[in-house]
Structure 1
Amino acid sequence: MTSSGVALALLVLLGLVALIGPWALATANRLDRLHVRTDAAWAALDAALARRAVVARAVAAVCGEPELRAAADRAERAARADREAAENELSARLENLDRSVLAPALAAELSDAEQRVVLARRVHNDAVRDTLALRRWRLVRRLRLAGTAPTPSYFEIAEPPADVPTQRVSARVVLVDGDGRVLLFEGFDPARPEELFWFTVGGGVEPSEDLRAAAVREAYEETGLRLPPEDLVGPVWRRRAVFSFDGLSYAAEEWFFVCRAPGAVVDTSRFNELERRTIRRHRWWTVEELRAADDTVYPVQLAEVLPDALAGWDGETRLVR
């Protein structure tokens, strides 16, 4: 090759380096950030899985389920290569668990742990997807821009089917005034605003919160009344129902307390945004009005069971519809 040919080749090579060099540096930096993101996502998923195992062991102790405890132990101790199988076994055992026997706070904690696993897994797999997409570029592979970083992999465990209702434990207050009338709110499902129904004071139990404390908190948030916990009688009733609200399905377990509040003045200024949007009004109902009404009221048996509850509680929690 002549000297002019060599010079031309060198110029071409330098031109390629000038073009590719900045791109390669930027791509390597981007890959490094993606690997950091993937590692962080795995750490979060690992923590969520560990918490689920801890809660599952607590559930196993309450329910007397040694096989559930063993599955939780295996999932927690499994090596990365065996982790998916172990976690899927734990998921299957939790899916077949009768959660109606759990204390409300423990049931809520288990549901929360499971949802955190679902979210953490999705974040992790999104990070893996983005990292693999860049690593698979031909030029990235040829230039070895990923360096010595290990190839990340998806974490595949079964999620609850979309049609499985979310477990929801609620504490409700049958608030009665000095004339023996019960306070009810009238509201609607945002997905079906034309279908109105009446319901008692109360709402969902938060993780680590007991039923009575939840009932007191919900009563204050919805009515402005600070009810002394010792004034709540019960739970006098327990209601199970599967329903949809705002497009989501719920398997509800509701516990009802009775509380007398003579001269109560209701203040709904503490309603949250959803309550302000879906609750139209409130009123006090007599038992006779409930029996004569064509309106939809929950629980359905309220007019039937309320007189006995007001006459005095015998200490037995009864199932109602």
Structure 2
Amino acid sequence: MLGTANRLDRLHVRTDSAWAALDAALARRAVVTRAVAAVCGKPELRAAADEAERARRGDREAAENRLSALLEALDRSVLAPALAAELADAEQRVVLARRVHNDAVRDTLALRRRRSVRWLRLAGTAPTPAYFEIAEPGTDAEVPVTRVSARVVLVDPADRVLLFEGFDPAKPDELFWFTVGGGVEPGEELRDAAVRELLEETGVVLGPDELEGPLWKRHAVISFDGVTVAAVEWFFLARVGDGVEVDTSRFNELERRTIVGHRWWSADELAGADAVVYPVQFAEVLPGALGGWDGTTRSIR
């Protein structure tokens, strides 16, 4: 076990170092972008670079991805060769740094998921690392698709929350837990979408006025089944009585393929778990939500 603990410690150090390198690469891209914006007379490009540089960690993916989209559309023929080369170099350094970071995260999560590591709590208080997903330059297929979702934090009388466990079809070995919910259809209200998804995924029937919130809003750029998605997620809380049976018979084909199970989690269990849970701050913000909604929608990651 000592060897495993030492390896896990090294992996956490590697992940932290990889994030520092990625952060530096993103900062350099922002600096070069501002120089490009000055030459091209594009204030929106400079604004996007400033926004990406100032963004908090939870909003960073979305901000960096907006900058990537503007750079992708830029006519580089107007740039001096040296500046064009510097921009291309900055972009490629971001690509490489992101891949190194995500590889480090993958290896760390794989070790943290081992049963012995979880039971003995070898990860200690080290936070669970998270992937950083932004579109890479030069690939039209990776331009993100915006998807608005309504999600439900479904709570039982014991203050336990229902989560599903599933995987990305492109990464079947990487399991994660997530709340009830899904995409909002065109013209659909958020609350209506939330109660529809709740029925489809759990069989629980509630009215829109029985939801609390939205408690939280989350922006994230994620990759699912090979598609880059700019996700905007709204979270509501709903309570159910004793004896509720979760009915997944209404799952669609994708859900049947990629969701492997579900369970009710207490806040303490979530706080002590090494499983990958989305949103990343779920264990941190759940206790406050259980005490009742104060009317404020908070941004989380």
| TM-score bracket for this pair, using the shorter chain length | 0.5 to 0.7
Q: 2:216 aligns with which of 233, 237, 255?
A: 237
Tell me, yes or no, if structure 1 residue 175 matches structure 2 residue 154: yes
Q: Where does residue 278 of structure 2 map in the other structure?
A: 298
Q: Where does residue 278 of structure 1 map in the other structure?
A: 258
Q: Quick one: higher RCO (CA 8 Å, sep 6+), 1 or 2?
A: 2
Task: Map Cα deviations across residues 186-236 of structure 1 (whole Å, 9 max, x no partner).
Answer: 000000000000000000000000100000000000000111211100000
Tell me, yes or no, if structure 1 residue 226 matches structure 2 residue 205: yes
Q: 1:197 aligns with which of 176, 183, 186?
A: 176
SS in 2 for 1:305: helix
Q: Distance in 1 between matches of 2:265 and 2:298?
A: 22
**Could you tell me which amino acid in structure 1 is paired with residue 262 of structure 2?**
H
Task: Map Cα deviations across residues 221-279 of structure 1 (whole Å, 9 max, x no partner).
Answer: 00001112111000000001001111111000000000011232100000000000000
Q: Distance in 1 between matches of 2:190 and 2:221?
A: 20
Task: Map Cα deviations across residues 98-122 of structure 1 (whole Å, 9 max, x no partner).
Answer: xxxxxxxxxxxxxxxxxxxxxxxxx
Where do 1:211-222 residues align within 5 Å? 211-222=190-201
Q: Where does residue 240 of structure 2 map in the other structure?
A: 261
**Could you tell me which amino acid in structure 2 is paired with residue 226 of structure 1?**
V
Tell me, yes or no, if structure 1 residue 209 matches structure 2 residue 188: yes
How much has 1:163 moved relative to structure 2? 2.2
Q: Distance in 2 between matches of 1:302 and 1:162?
A: 31
Task: Map Cα deviations across residues 92-148 of structure 1 (whole Å, 9 max, x no partner).
Answer: 99x99xxxxxxxxxxxxxxxxxxxxxxxxxxxxxxxxxxxxxxxxxxxxxxxxxxxx
What is the TM-score with the length of structure 2 in the denominator?
0.53
**Could you tell me which amino acid in structure 2 is paired with residue 302 of structure 1?**
F
SS in 1 for 2:158: coil
Tell me, yes or no, if structure 1 residue 319 matches structure 2 residue 299: yes
Q: Distance in 2 between matches of 1:264 and 1:201?
A: 15
SS in 1 for 2:140: coil
8 Å CA contact 2:148–2:183 kept in 1: the answer is yes
What is the TM-score with the length of structure 1 in the denominator?
0.50
Q: Distance in 2 between matches of 1:241 and 1:192?
A: 18
Q: Where does residue 20 of structure 1 map in the other structure?
A: none
Larger Rg: 1
Question: Structure 2, unaligned stretches of length 5 or more?
Answer: 1-68, 74-138
- Structure 1 segments, 4+ long, off by >4 Å, are none
Q: Distance in 2 between matches of 1:300 and 1:177?
A: 22
How much has 1:161 moved relative to structure 2? 3.4
How much has 1:314 moved relative to structure 2? 1.1
Q: Distance in 1 between matches of 2:204 and 2:142?
A: 37
How much has 1:310 moved relative to structure 2? 1.1
Question: Structure 1, unaligned stretches of length 5 or more?
Answer: 1-91, 97-159
Q: Distance in 1 between matches of 2:216 and 2:244?
A: 23
**Could you tell me which amino acid in structure 2 is paired with residue 199 of structure 1?**
F
8 Å CA contact 2:141–2:227 kept in 1: the answer is no
Where do 1:81-230 residues align within 5 Å? 161-230=140-209
**Could you tell me which amino acid in structure 1 is paired with residue 150 of structure 2?**
A
How much has 1:162 moved relative to structure 2? 2.7
SS in 2 for 1:297: coil
**Could you tell me which amino acid in structure 1 is paired with residue 286 of structure 2?**
L
What do you get for the CA RMSD once the two structures are aligned?
1.8
8 Å CA contact 2:185–2:193 kept in 1: the answer is yes
